[in-house]
Amino acid sequence: MGHLLGSFTRAEGIAFWILVVAVLLLILAFVVRECTRRRRGWKGGRSSRVSLLYPFLVVALSVSCYLITGIPLKDLFSDVSDLPILNVSKIFYSLSQSALPYAYYFIYFYVFTLIGMVAASLSQFSNLLQLPLRYFLPSSKFHEVTLGESIALFAYASFNLWWFAYFFLSINYASSVLELTARCFGHINALNLCVGMFFPTHHSLWSNIFAIPFTRAVKYHRWINRAAMMSILFHLTIWLADWTMKAGITNTLACIALDCRQTGVSFTAVAFAEIAFVMLLLGFVAAQEGVRRWKYEIFHALHFLNLVGLAFATLHSWVLVYLLPFPAALYIVDRIMKTISFQSKGRVVLLRVEEEEVTTMVIEMNSYFSYNPGQFVYIRVPSISSSQWHPFSICNPQDHAGDKCLLEFKIKSMGRNTFTGRLREKAKEIGIGNHGDALSIQLAMRTTRVDVEGPHGCAFSNVNHDVLVLIGGGVGATPLFCILRRVAAAAREGTLPYLYVHLLWVVKDPMCLTWFAEDMRDIERSFPKGKFGMQLHVTLKPRCDDGWKLRSTNGGSATAPLLTDEGNDEYVIRRRTTVVPPFRAGRPNISKLFVLITEHHRKPSKPCSVGIICSGPKTLKEETARLAMAFNDDKIVFNVHNETFRI
């Protein structure tokens, strides 16, 4: 049988890998079971609680693999003195002898954060950091990366190179170049795993200091974790190559390199490393775009395996003893703050089924709940799922006059067995009167408890521009209408901060325009003549029975020529129950829109600043950013801000 200082025989090594495959098959069976239940319409409850316990079950099964192969529990922990995390004297010795790079690690983050706070306090410098990189490098393909973000990423990449070089030159106990390189990649792994924990914290001051929205911070979290997974693979591959050179490939593959006499590697280090790798790999696969969009519940459950992997990685490497406390403390504080904010509970006062698989939900909150246009919140409906939290943008500005705060959401159904699909089914169930008379329906909505966590995201701050352009696609225009409502309220009060405001909204079906039909009429009446323009585009051509062409192209209170785009036919639809605003058939000509804005708002004395907020499909945002960059000159400047919802 295996022993702490010995080696697995080939039969025991093969048995070990069979058990590992068995664990993976159990995980696959769990995933298939979840998918099958969701497809049959099974509604949450006990599965949500099982999902929370699932990572611990996987850990128990993984550790059992080693116990079943013949390693007694007492032998597994009989040589704990070799683990620095459990040896206080060795910790102090390491701190005194080799703590220099870890001191730099703390100095790097603290000083960098301090510099960011000072820069954010200087308005001109802060605005410079928020400019997209394409203004400085016209050929750059990174349309959404700002100057401040590119500086931060460059500094971080430089720190990674310095980190690798420091250990490559300072480690003197490696027996070969392969071992030295593998150990250096191990230090890179520890650094990236810890830094990746900074960004997904909702309540971190970093997003406010550097004006990085939480959704974009999650993007950097994915980037760093991908880099960490690549360095982990390099680390494992180089170690296997080194072990093969020392002990032979047969011994390395069959005995998982546990022959300490030939490889010089402790069994405990290898055992914890393999468990950590399996946990991190599963969490990494579950976080991929396809899995996350296909089954968010699976992503949410398996993502907690990363925390388990970090725990075993700490047992594997003493480096994490120095690096992990800082991001771990930030993560714990974030979870505490998130738990406290869970106390924000609301009641559903409206749940209505809209056209094109959209559900309108209005939640009544207490008056102390405050938010700004452009922000979003996380919502949990316990009657649908007790563990799932989903982000949604608020589409109405806050009314500070009343004693209650109402939050309105337009929620697109993503499928029958998803959270949004079950919410729509609940709205249909209430709407068709399954609960009885009108009073019972109202009581059924008000007894639907909703937990709200937030708000999150960078609030709307594009008030220093001369012209404001809002470009939205589909249901992604939700935050734009929240901003537009706030601007319209300022116009009614006579405090409009813009010379001109324009809305461009693109949808697939004409009935999508009914989502905000009443709002658009109120918004048009709020602006002075010539101060507001609106273009509504439907990409699918209407049917013959849907409407007819209009001879006039005057779409509202605005008399600006932005509403006379030749080549697009304008239609009107009349229904018994729904009024659809006039729209144009076909895709919008954003280039012509920018030409008209340039002709009418270019200033001879000083540059005209045009603030563009784009929310919608990736192609729409890329086209907007590309055209804005092309139309920039010394007399007019287009500043593009893209809203993103990739959580």
> Which of these three, 281, 309, 338, is where a domain ends?
338
Phi-psi region of 454 (alpha: psi -120 to 50; beta: other; left: phi over 0): left
One domain, residues 179 and 322: yes
Q: How far is CA 152 from CA 115, 149, 213, 330, in A?
A: 11, 5, 15, 19
Inter-residue long-range contacts of 126-129, CB under 8 Å, 24+ positions, other chains counted: 126/211, 127/464, 129/210, 129/211
Residue 454 CA to residue 373 CA, distance in Å, equals 13
Residue 210 CA to residue 81 CA, distance in Å, equals 44
One domain, residues 260 and 114: yes
One domain, residues 115 and 227: yes
Radius of gyration of the chain from Cα atoms?
A: 29
Report which of 378, 347, 344, 365 is spatially closest to residue 444, judged by C-alpha positions: 347
One domain, residues 123 and 213: yes
Tokens, residue 629: 């960059």
Tokens, residue 628: 């804005």
The sheet that has 570-574: what strands, in order across it? 548-549, 570-574, 579-585, 532-538, 500-507, 467-473, 608-615, 636-643
Q: Does 145 map to a domain?
A: yes
Helix runs in 548-617, H state only: 590-601
Q: What is the pLDDT of residue 577?
A: 43
Q: Quick count: other Cβ atoms within 10 Å of Cβ 496?
A: 20
Q: Does 44 map to a domain?
A: no
One domain, residues 113 and 186: yes
Residues of the chain with pLDDT under 50: 1-8, 34, 36-100, 110, 117, 120-124, 209, 254-255, 257, 432-441, 443, 544-578, 647
> Which of these three, 456, 478, 504, is where a domain ends?
456
Tokens, residue 214: 């939480």
Q: What is the pLDDT of residue 45?
A: 35
Q: What is the pLDDT of residue 58?
A: 41
Q: How far is CA 299 from CA 80, 376, 414, 645, in A?
A: 35, 21, 16, 16
One domain, residues 367 and 402: yes
One domain, residues 443 and 513: no
Q: What is the pLDDT of residue 612?
A: 85
Helix (H) or strand (E) holding 573: strand 570-574
Q: Does 23 map to a domain?
A: no
Q: At 393, which CATH number?
A: 2.40.30.10
Model-level pTM? 0.59
Q: Does 367 map to a domain?
A: yes
> Domain range for residue 405?
344-456
Q: Quick count: other Cβ atoms within 10 Å of Cβ 57?
A: 14
For 87-104, how does the pLDDT look when each residue is reduced to its tens digit (9 = 90+)? 444 444 444 444 445 555
One domain, residues 590 and 497: yes
Residues paired with 366 in a beta bridge: 404
Residue 161 CA to residue 185 CA, distance in Å, equals 11
One domain, residues 519 and 545: yes
One domain, residues 484 and 620: yes
One domain, residues 330 and 197: yes
Establish whether the linkage from the previous residue to 510 is cis, with ω within 30° of 0: no
Report which of 407, 416, 332 is spatially closest to residue 376, judged by C-alpha positions: 407
Q: Does 18 map to a domain?
A: no
Q: Does 60 map to a domain?
A: no
Report which of 468, 500, 509, 505 is spatially closest to residue 588, judged by C-alpha positions: 505
Residue listed under structure tokens 């696609």? 473
* Count: domains in the chain: 3
Residue 142 CA to residue 280 CA, distance in Å, equals 29
Helix (H) and strand (E) counts for the chain? 24, 14
Q: What is the pLDDT of residue 202?
A: 60
